[in-house]
Amino acid sequence: MSKIKAAQGHPYARIMGVGGYRPTRVVPNEVILETIDSSDEWIRSRSGIATRHWASDEETVAAMSVEAAGKAIADAGITPGQIGAVIVSTVSHFKQTPAIATEIADKVGAGKPAAFDISAGCAGFGYGLTLAKGMVVEGSAEYVLVIGVERLSDLTDLHDRATAFLFGDGAGAVIVGPAKQPMIGPTVWGSEGDKAETIKQTEGWDVYRDGTPDKFPAITQEGQAVFRWAVFEMAKVAQQALDAAGITADDLDVFIPHQANERIIDSMVKTLKLPEHVTVARDVRTTGNTSAASIPLAMERLLATGEAKSGDTALVIGFGAGLVYAATVVTLP
């Protein structure tokens, strides 16, 4: 018989607060057209994107995260010292070590929490949310700060007609804490590594050790392959998340998919047969694709504008490089 004492956790977990930060510089499509042969109409028709935000030198991954985290902490009504863990999902923090989460934890005044980074691309927020839920339920942390943050402008090839217009910068954060009833549903997540080449960084950082590259590494993708996978396979995952939560599309109030492309969003809405009363996040129009930050940023905007309200039932799904995905149903804070 084991002599190990059981952890004293909580029966359930919930999102208690949300915050976001968008860089001050707004970049319209006209700026993108300076380096690619395209048009504003083509970009909008293919992606829905009209503008995106690009960070200044001062708006670092850490700085944007601290701003978003501060808003989430205030929204949750807790103090920074109560945070037991900090999880940061990003692919655009360029130092392999230490984890940027440790710097962010210190700057928000969280004391000495567990702190680590994860790399799960555009599904990173869902991965972080699932880990945070497990910590609260298991008892290793009372409150967990989850951040999705990207400076994808640093990894954008402005001469790549397929991707130059897609990416933006920003940070989104949530606080996950105890609940007395289920408010974060089971996560449906996974990976399809055989499709890893469809979204990738063009070169590894070792090119700087082994030689002088012609240009800085960037994110590239096979657009049509990614589109087909997202539309057909991710709609299935979204339905599985609804089933796992024990609800139907009619029970939803809000749908917050990863803000990759408005055509993908429209196709998923149609495939899932979402009723007209369901509010659909379309933050991609003015924020672009911010990878791990896109879901919490979209969530924050919906709540701030009143398009969604506290207590609403929302389906969230992220998907991207890996290829990886994560979907769950949550109650909005």
Residues annotated as part of the active site = 122, 258, 289
**Distance between CA atoms of residues 248 and 250, nearest Å:** 5
Which residues touch 185 (CB under 8 Å, ≥6 apart)?
Answer: 241, 244, 245, 328, 329, 330
Q: What are phi and psi for residue 232, nearest 5 degrees?
A: -85, -45
- Which tokens is 60 given? 């670092």
Residue among 95, 64, 104, 118 at smallest CA distance from 297:
64
Give the CA diameter of the chain.
Answer: 69
Q: List, as one string, the DSSP characters of 64-124.
A: HHHHHHHHHHHHHT--GGGEEEEEEE-S----SSS-HHHHHHHHTT--S-EEEEE--GGGH
Q: Residue 27 forms beta bridges with which residues?
A: 52
Cα 146 to chain centroid, rounded: 10
Residue among 12, 9, 8 at smallest CA distance from 186:
12
Residue among 56, 63, 43, 151 at smallest CA distance from 107:
63
The 3-state secondary structure of 191-255 reads ECHHHHHHEEECCCCCHHHHCCCCCCCCEEECHHHHHHHHHHHHHHHHHHHHHHHCCCHHHCCEE
